Amino acid sequence: MTEQPSFDHRPDPELGAALWAALEPKDDHAAFAARVLAQYDHALDRSSVAMFDVLASWFRPGMVAAAAALVLGILLGRTVFQSPDPTSIDAAMAPVEGPGLAALVTAQDPPDASVVFTSLVEP
Amino acid sequence: MGSSGDDAGLVARTLAGDRAAFGALVERHAGQARRVPRALLGDPDDADDAAQDGFLSALVKLGQYDARRPFGPWLMRIVANAATDRRRRRNVRRVEPLDTSLVGGGPRPDAAAVRNELGDRLRAALAELPERRRKAVVLFDVEGYSHAEIAGILGIPEGTVRSEVFHARRRLRTLLADFKEPIG
């Protein structure tokens, strides 16, 4: 190695001045500051507009999704509530004409809770 | 460059929504924030775009600034990163176009022309340096930051900063020496 780095802790004024002259912008910094502030204002405006744009863009798909959910809910509800009526306590307790207690046991659909409670209270 | 106390006051006012305070902060630090990207990007318009990116990014991050520390190095770290990002986006490994007439050592009618030529050559020489070396030498010799501050700005060890400044100076001083005789 022929050369050892000799670090200088002080800035080189001559080199610094030459570099400064080479890098210094020709226009004044006030114009640049005005430009940055204009961009700052523009960004603020754009962000508020963008928020409404986002909300607006969500509105239509949101309405479609809500309508689809409503229709699905109605169809599901109708399917559930159109199932046969559960066996009534009258039918279950009828000794001769009705299916009798066996109807409670063999019925495919669960009875109303009132049927069970009534059978316990009034044996 | 204003004092760090002034800067802290402007930062506090900016955070409170004072637009004029932000403008004052920008104007106060515009010089160094524009020169450093120039060393990195070459093109003045690109450099100003990078400086602007840096200021707006600093505004977004202003809540993270520790007012007990000097504002300049904190800002310059953001600006230097903005310049690097812009350089990457530009995706051009760009060596400043060097006018062949400058290399050829054409006629030098007067000292002003020679100084202009020196400026062109310095910018060209900077463009040939590795990115980190450019930043280091400009921050040290032009902006007057210490090695430790530059280490913080660039996120590298202080010893590496010294090395980068040394190697950059060696190249640039050679160039400068070539111009001293004609100027003198």
Q: Do B147 and A9 lie within an 8 Å CB cutoff?
A: yes
Name the DSSP class of B139. I
Of B102, B98, B75, B92, the closest CA to residue B40 belongs to B92
Digit-coded pLDDT (tens) for B123-140 = 989 999 999 999 999 999
User: Phi-psi bin for A24: left (phi > 0), alpha (psi -120 to 50), beta?
Assistant: beta
* Interval A23-68: pLDDT, tens: 999 888 999 999 999 988 887 776 655 555 555 666 777 788 888 8
Look at residue B4 in the predicted model and tell me its pLDDT. Answer: 61
Q: Which of B59-63, B114-118, B165-169 has the lowest mean pLDDT?
A: B114-118
- Say which amino acid occupies B42: G
Q: How many CB atoms lie within 10 A of CB B27?
A: 19
Q: Give the separation between CA A50 and CA B24, rounded to whole angstroms.
A: 28
What integer best gives the mean pLDDT of chain A? Answer: 72
Find tokens 């006012």 and name the residue. B13
Which B positions 38-77 lie with beta carbon below 8 A of chain A?
A: 38-39, 44, 48, 51-52, 55-56, 59
Q: How far apart are CA B24 and CA B130, in angstroms?
A: 33
CB within 8 Å: B141 and A11: yes
- Count CA within 13 A, CB hemisphere, residue A19: 32
Nearest to A22 among B31, B51, B122 (CB): B122
Query: B49 to chain A: nearest residue by CA?
Result: A36
Can you tell me which residue has the tokens 């239509």? A60
Q: Which residues of B touch A21 (CB under 8 A)?
A: 115, 118-119
Chain A positions touching B138 (Cβ under 8 A) are 19, 23
Residues A33, A35, A37: CA angle, nearest 5 degrees: 70
Overall average pLDDT of the B15-32 stretch: 94
Q: Which H helix or E strand runs over B30? A: helix B19-41
Q: B129 vs A3, A38, B9, B92, B97, CA distance in Å?
A: 19, 34, 38, 15, 14
Ramachandran area for residue B110 (φ above 0: left; ψ -120 to 50: alpha; else beta)? beta
Check residues B92 and A114 and name the one with the higher pLDDT.
A114
CA distances from A72 to A7, A59, A66 (A): 77, 20, 10
Q: Residue B38 and residue A23: Cβ atoms within 8 Å?
A: yes
Q: What is the distance between the alpha carbons of residues B107 and B114, in angstroms, rounded to a whole number?
A: 9
Contact list in B for residue A6 (CB cut-off 8 A) is 166
Q: For chain A, positions 40-59, list CB contacts with chain B under 8 A.
A: 40-41, 43
Optimal mutation site among B46, B57, B120, B141, interface A, most CBs of chain A within 10 A: B141
- What are the structural domains of chain B? 1-91 (1.10.1740.10), 104-184 (1.10.10.10)
What one-letter code names the amino acid at B24? A
Q: Determine whether the interchain pair A11/B138 forms a contact, defined as Cβ–Cβ distance below 8 Å.
A: no
Of B23, B119, B166, the CB nearest to A5: B166
Contact A36, B52 (CB under 8 A): yes
pTM of the prediction? 0.65
